[in-house]
A = this chain, B = another copy of it.
Amino acid sequence: MDYSRLAKVLSSNGFSLTQARKRVFGALVDQEGISMNELICELSGTVDRVSVYRNVTLFEKLGILQRISNGFKYKVELSDSFSSHHHHLSCSQCGQIINIKADQLEGAIKQLGKDHGFVISGHQVEIHGSCAQCALKGKEVG
C-alpha cells in the first residue's frame, strides 16, 4: 500500500501518519462508498470506533475523503483527488451503487452557479431507482 500522498497531505498540514490513519485510509482505497458502520466494523479490533470518527472528520477537512448522501444516511469514500470525480446511481432494490461519469451534468451544474452568482465549492448528485438487472426482474414478476 502506498501512503506517500496521504503522508504528504497530512504532514503539510501538521498532522502525522499514524497506524490508525493508515488503516482508515487503507479500508477506503479501491472501495465504493461504505457506511460509517461498515468502516467501523471492518476496522474493529485494530482501530477504535472513536478514532475512526475522528480521522474521518480530519480526512474530510483535509479533502482526503468525502461523505456521499445515500437516502438520508451517508457513506464515505476517497475524494476526487484520491480517486476520480464521478456520481452515483443507487439501486433501491439491490442496494448496489454504480459509479458513473457525467460530463454533461458537470456542465449544467457549472452553468447554474454562473446563472445565480453562486460560487460552487462542490456538488453531489444522488440518483435513485432500479438498476438494469433489477428493472428486468421487476418486469418478469409483474
Query: Using a CB–CB distance below 8 Å, which chain A residues touch chain B?
Result: 67, 69, 71-72, 74, 87, 89, 91-92, 98, 100, 102, 104-105, 107-109, 111-113, 116-132, 135
A-B contact list, 6 entries, CB within 8 Å: A69-B124, A98-B116, A109-B125, A112-B127, A119-B130, A121-B130
* A116 B130 Cβ-Cβ under 8 A: no
- What is the CB-to-nearest-CB distance from A128 to chain B, in angstroms, rounded to a whole number? 6
Taking a contact as CB atoms under 8 Å apart, the answer to whether B112 and A89 are in contact is: yes
Judge whether B128 and A125 touch: CB under 8 Å: no
Of A72, A105, A126, chain B has the most CB atoms within 10 Å of the CB of A72
Q: Is the CB of A128 within 8 A of B120?
A: yes
Nearest CB of B to A85, in Å: 14
The smallest beta-carbon distance between A74 and chain B, in angstroms, is: 4
Taking a contact as CB atoms under 8 Å apart, the answer to whether A131 and B105 are in contact is no
Are A119 and B135 in contact (CB-based, < 8 A)? yes
Tell me the minimal C-beta distance from A31 to chain B in angstroms.
18
Contact present for A105 and B109 (CB under 8 Å): yes
Contacts of A119 in B (CB 8 A): 129-130, 135
Q: How far is the CA of A92 from the CA of B61 in the complex (A)?
A: 14
